[in-house]
Amino acid sequence: MSRITFLAALLALILALPPSPIHAQQLEQDLERIQRATVFIMQAENVGDELIVTCVGSGTLVSRDGLIITNAHNTLQDTACPGETLIVALTITPGEPPVPKYRAEIAQADPGLDIALLRINRELDGRLIESSSLALPFVELADSSATQLDQTITVVGYPGIGSDSVGIARGTIVGFTAEPRGGDKAWIKTSAVIPGTMSGGGAYNAAGQLIGIPTTAPITSLGTDTSCQPLQDTNGDGLVNNNDICIPVGGFINALRPASFARPLLRGAALGLTVTTPDPPGSQFSGTGTPTFKNLFFAPSVNEAGMPTAVIGNLPAGSTGLYLFFDYANMTPETVYELRVTTNGIPNPTFSLAPVRWSGGENGLWYIGSANQPWANGVYEFTLFVNGVTSGTARLNIGGAAELSPTFRDIVFGILDLRGNPLGNGFVLPTGNVAGARFIYQNMENGVEWVSLWYYNGVEFSRQTNTWDAGANGDMTTSIQASNGLLPGTYRLELYISGRLAAKSDLVIAGSQQGAYADIFTNLHFTTANSASEALSASPISNFPSAVRDLYALADWQQIGSGTIWTMRWSVDGNIFYEQIVPWSQAESGAGYLVQLSDPTSIPDGTYRVEFLINNLPLAAAEAQVGIGQLPIDRFAQAGGVQLRGKILDTDTRQGIPGVTFILISEDFSVSEFVDSWDQNMIYALAVTDENGEFELDRPLQFDAPYSVVIAADGYLPITADGVEITAETKLPLDLTIYLTRD
């Protein structure tokens, strides 16, 4: 099939089509395409001359050149999954088990979100593959933030451990679960019944777009998990039974990680970017001590720092927001946690969360809940599990009228001015002798006992017992001080009214004082050098040539307590492609914290930005331009593809033509093959113009893939072309104006 540019194709020779018109229609969800894009992933360990499978899961191809979205826990090497080889099996014949075809490498991974992006890089026998030579079926990512309650979804994955064909589960979206990592839609809850081996597969909307990744994690730490199956004769007795290595598969899944969370990983992989840090995820966790949850309590909402706005003992009828807070200790990225909720003693899957990998730090404060979703009246019981063991229970009544009980809420921290008002950013304070907190009070009565209790790194630091004398409503300030200075670390303020916990919040103290703000990370800058050691003494640079392969971001730091949770975020042209949230594991103060950004060929032109944050608050940032300072094309709009839209006009009147059908035929077929059969399975994408003659394809085009085009409408001569191809030089988004001539 000859290849020509898109604009030239639309000016090609007009060919005759069969007399039967094409009726305007919307394609239903293309399940065959989705099933072919669903892969089975086996992590295997080299034992002598054999590959022993250690973990399995489903995955989804999201680009024609072999990028796969799946779960991190099925692919990253750890104690539960020790294999170093990743095997990718595809559905070759519908209705039959997948066939191993390729090997893959981890291109990007976020253990906290339990998302990994794999890249097919070898044949099954180990021979290298040039990714540009692949032409695999793939799916597109949807905007997960647009998902709504009661939306119908279809989940696709492999329900077995390799001997079953690809499976389908249908259901609806029944809720959203909030966590500090991911916000109010950290999880999409579904009514679909999803087996554990479909973890890492895909959930799709009616347009056939990927909205979520079914996710669960098998519990392996107890050594008694029954949710596993033998796959191979690993002991050499000629049988495959319970005496062989058991592959953990987990139980049923009820939650999806939003597909949008994978976009940064996809961006980094599409550009070939790798970020190397002194603190790789997981390296800061000690792995000692028993993981535990304790001190469970409820809040009606959270603030911008992820802290509870208030502590409540019940909720009135009609409430739409509820968050369960708890302290956690000794957690690691391999820890599995679960929440089970009952309403009036009956299991409530809408607000429960099946076992998933831990996405927080080693020690701290966490929450799980939901917002903008009705909570029915009843008695709710929340039970937390760590690695399958009960680790905390709390109960809450929902119903009745709002109570006008004494309350404290909305704690904000700061440096106190001469009038006792806190100044600063609210949740990160500089080291000094005094730290203050302001809170709002309502419905108070004079004479009531109240207590302010401060902790430092989990140990009681200061306790102040007072008698209330400030009236019913207003705001109040309390503070702590230390003559030798407050040490850097994590502090907590708990407020009690008559012995009842009324408000609670954490803050971080770090860095030197610059006015009311903390100066923690300083001298953040970019440079380049032949090696990381040379970069430590290289001069700051903010503009780099196009051929540069390595950039280094360096910063000095001061007075950061060990274990302080912080975030490093990278973006290019305003699009995030890397984010790491980890406990601080370096010295308390130092110089030359070095992060390397690299690309094996050359870092693409663009404006790169690195940010350091604590408690969601940006504390330092630096920018650098590579080449022209802008990516030549927006490869991020739709999972590595190109969005095509335009309008179709009458050649004589220059008016838009409604009802024109624009058909894009898959690269595997030509116009003549399509015209002979009119087989919808040959159609890659289809759109019909609106009353103004405008259209937009709902699937992006892949670069360098030759498509065929058919444009037809009643009363007009059709346009067809073969070999239509999008290249990196195509202006994006591709916006066309096409003219049709009356027949």
Decide: 555 and 589 in contact? Cβ < 8 Å. no
| Cβ atoms of residues 40 and 58 within 8 Å | yes
Q: Which residues contact 679 (CB under 8 A, 6 or more apart)?
A: none
Q: How far apart are CA 508 and CA 649, in angstroms?
A: 61
Indicate the DSSP class of residue 677. Answer: H
State how far the Cα of 683 lies from the Cα of 664, in Å rounded to an integer: 6
In 325-468, where does DSSP find H-type helix? none
Residue 446 burial (C-beta neighbours within 10 Å; 0-12, 13-18, 19+): exposed
Of 327, 324, 329, residue with least CA distance to 353:
324
**How many CA atoms, within 13 angstroms, populate the side-chain half-sphere of residue 297?**
20
**CATH number of this structure's domain 292-398, picked from the four choices 3.40.50.1240, 2.60.40.10, 2.40.50.140, 3.40.50.1970:** 2.60.40.10
Q: Which residues have a Cβ under 8 Å from the Cβ of 677 and sit 6 or more positions away?
A: none
Q: Supply the pLDDT for residue 29.
A: 42
pTM (predicted TM-score) = 0.81
**According to the 3-state scheme, what is the secondary structure of 340-369?**
EEEECCEECCCCCEEEEECCCCCCEEEEEE
Q: Is 35 helix (H, G, I), strand (E, B) or coil?
A: helix
The CATH number for 407-514, chosen from 3.20.20.140, 2.60.40.2550, 3.40.50.300, 3.90.700.10, is 2.60.40.2550
Residue 469 β-bridge partners: none
Please provide the distance, in angstroms rounded to a whole number, between the alpha carbons at the two ends of the chain.
28
Contact residues for 676 (Cβ-Cβ < 8 A; gap 6+): none
3-state DSSP call for residue 82? Answer: coil
Q: How many Å apart are CA 197 and CA 39, to the nearest integer?
A: 12
Query: pLDDT at position 640, please?
Result: 53
The CATH number corresponding to 4-28+640-740 among 2.60.40.1120, 1.10.3720.10, 2.30.29.30, 3.30.559.10 equals: 2.60.40.1120
Pairing verdict, β 543-544 and 617-626: parallel
Domain locations along the chain = 4-28+640-740, 31-190+206-263, 292-398, 407-514, 520-626
Q: What is the topology classification, in CATH, of domain 520-626?
A: Immunoglobulin-like (2.60.40)
Residues 743 and 16: their CA atoms lie apart, in Å, by 11
733: preceding bond cis by omega (within 30 degrees): yes
H or E stretch at 258 = strand 253-258
Q: Taking a C-beta distance cutoff of 8 angstroms, is the pair 190, 153 a contact?
A: yes
pLDDT single digits (tens) 436-476? 999 999 999 999 999 999 999 999 999 999 999 999 999 99
Pairing status of strand 565-572 against strand 606-614? antiparallel
How is residue 403 annotated by DSSP? P
Mean pLDDT of each 10-residue bin along the chain, 743 residues long:
42 33 39 89 85 90 92 88 92 90 94 93 92 83 90 92 87 94 93 88 91 86 51 56 57 88 90 86 71 96 94 93 96 91 95 92 92 92 95 94 90 86 90 93 96 95 95 94 92 96 96 91 96 94 94 97 92 92 91 95 94 94 94 51 84 92 86 82 84 82 82 91 74 80 89
User: Which CATH number is 31-190+206-263's, of 3.60.21.10, 3.40.50.300, 2.40.10.120, 3.20.20.70?
Assistant: 2.40.10.120
Query: Which of the 8 DSSP states describes residue 631?
Result: -
d(CA 605, CA 600): 14
What is the rounded CA–CA span in Å between residue 493 and residue 507? 8
- Report which residue type is found at 560: I
For 473-501, the three-class secondary structure string (H helix, E strand, C coil) is CEEEEEEEECCCCCCCEEEEEEEEECCEE
The two domains 292-398 and 520-626 share their CATH topology (first three levels equal):
yes
And the tokens for 666?
A: 């898959």
Rg (CA), the chain: 29
pLDDT, residue 730, reads 64
Helix, coil or strand: residue 37: helix
Please check whether residue 373 is in contact with residue 290, taking contact to mean a CB–CB distance below 8 angstroms. no
